[in-house]
Amino acid sequence: MDRQSEQFLIDLLETASPSSREVDIQKKWLAYVKPFSDDIRTDSAGNAMGILNPGADFKIMLAGHCDEIGFIVSGIDEDGFVRIDKMGGISPKPAIGMKVRILGYAQNVVGVIGTNAEHFGGVKEELDISDLYIDCGAKTKEEMARYVRIGDLAVYKREPEKLLNNRLAGRGLDNRTGAFIIAEVLRRTAEKGTNVGVYAASTVNEETNLGGAYFAAAGIKPTCAIACDVTFATDHPDVDRRKHGEVSLGGGPVLAKGAPINNKINDDLLEAAAKRTGVPLQYELTPRATGTDADRIRYTSSGVPVALVSLPLRYMHAPAETVSLDDIDQEIELLTDMISHLTGAENLNPVEL
C-alpha cells in the first residue's frame, strides 16, 4: 500500500461516521474517487458512488459500508450527565471508562463513560446500555443542553494506530476498511482498464438497517454484486475454532459460502482470480443470511447474484478493532484482477439451458 492510499485509509478512520450521520466521510470518499471515476453519484439515502464505464450493459457493484456503530443521546439528567442508547450493535461492557466524542448540535464535546470504582462495588455483572452515562464535566442539565440534545450521536475517541507485523487497530474498522477497499479497487481498475461497468458504492446505514445498500442497488440495477465487509477472526485467545471456524489475520480475504451466495461468482470469478494472483483465500459459512449489505442487494430489481468478500477482523464492535494491512492489499489485488478479466458475457445463472 503506497503512502497516499494509506493516508486516505487513516483519514476515513479518523472521520466520525455513526450510522445516519455519514455525510462527512462520504464527502471525503467522493473527493478521493472523483479524479479516476468516469462519473460520481449520490442518492437520497446518502450513498456515494464512483463509476467506470457507465454505459456498459454488464454492471458489477461493489458495496462497502462507511457507517460505524456508536451511541445516541437519549437524555440529560439534572446534574448534566448524558444518557445514551445504542446506534447499531455496540456492546456496553467495552465502553466502561472509554473516552467518547459527542457530535453535538452546537459543537463536538469530549466526555468519558463513567465507571463505578471497585471501592464502591465495581461494574455491575449484568450491564445494560441504560446503565451507561457520559460525563462531559457539565454541572447542570442546562449547561449540557447548550451543546447536546436528544438524538445527537457519539463515537469512541480512539484514533487508528499501527501495531507490529503491519497490523492496524482503531475504532470502526468495521467497515470503513470496506469503503476504502472498493475505492482502491476502482482506482486500480481505472488504471488497468475494464470491459464492464464498475459501480463502487460507499453505502450507509448497514449497522442499523441495511437500507443504504437497498437504495444503491435499486438505482444501479447491477448484473451482479460483491459486498466487501469484515468477518470474525478467530486467531486470538478464548475463541473456540471448532465452533466458529478458522480465520486468521494475515491469512488473506475470506469468501462466504452458503445459500445467499452465487456459486459462479465464487468459483468462476473470485477463485479463478485467486489462482492467477496467488492471493490466499479463507472461508466462512453463511447458511441462511450474511448479515451484510449483500442480503438487501440480492432482493432488488429482478434479483441480483451476490457474493461476500470479507476482511478478517479481531475484536468486532470493540473500541479497538484490529486488522492486517496485508489482508487489505490482497483483497484489493483479488478484486481488481477479477474485474479486469470480466468480458461482460459472463452467465451467472446456476442452471444454464
Whether the predicted model's global pTM rises above the 0.95 cut? yes
How many CB atoms are located within 10 Å of the residue 99 CB?
A: 13
* pLDDT recorded at residue 124: 80
| Tens-digit pLDDT profile for residues 179-230 | 999 999 999 999 999 999 999 999 999 999 999 999 999 999 999 999 999 9
Query: Directed axis angle between helix 23-33 and helix 3-14, to 10°?
Result: 160
Alpha carbon 126 to chain centroid, angstroms? 29
Dihedral over Cα of 27, 33, 35, 39: its sign: negative
Task: Specify the pLDDT at position 123.
Answer: 80
Same domain (yes/no): 239, 316: yes
- Active-site residue flag, 346: no
- Taking alpha carbons only, the member of 93, 87, 116 closest to residue 21 is 87
Query: Residue 167 falls within a domain, yes or no?
Result: no
Q: Is the dihedral of CA 5, 283, 291, 324 positive or negative?
A: negative
Q: Catalytic residue among 206, 207, 284, 333, which?
A: 206
**Helix or strand run (H / E) with residue 221:** none
Shared domain for 35 and 89, answered yes or no, is no
Residue located via cell numbers 437520497: 44
Number of structural domains in the chain:
2
Instruction: Please indicate, yes or no, whether residues 101 and 177 belong to a single structural domain of this protein.
Output: no
Q: Is 289 left (phi over 0), alpha (psi -120 to 50) or beta?
A: beta
Indicate whether 352 belongs to any domain: no
d(CA 300, CA 7): 35
What's the CATH code of the domain at 248?
Answer: 3.40.630.10
Phi, psi angle pair for 265, to nearest 5° = -65, -45
Do residue 34 and residue 127 come from a single domain? Answer: no
Query: Do 331 and 245 belong to one domain?
Result: yes
pLDDT at residue 353 above 90? Answer: no
Let me know if 113 is exposed, middle or buried by CB neighbors in 10 A (0-12, 13-18, 19+). buried
Q: Is the dihedral of CA 175, 181, 182, 187 positive or negative?
A: positive
Does residue 162 sit within a domain?
no
Domain edge (last residue) among 95, 128, 156:
156
| CATH code, domain carrying 130 | 2.40.30.40
Express each pLDDT in 258-313 by its tens digit.
999 999 999 999 999 999 999 999 999 999 999 999 999 999 999 999 999 999 99
The two beta strands, 306-313 and 254-257, are antiparallel
Does 77 score more than 80 pLDDT? yes
Domain that holds residue 47: 3-68+172-340
Residue 13 located in a structural domain: yes
Q: What is the mean pLDDT of the chain?
A: 96
Q: Tell whether 50 and 126 lie within a shared domain.
A: no
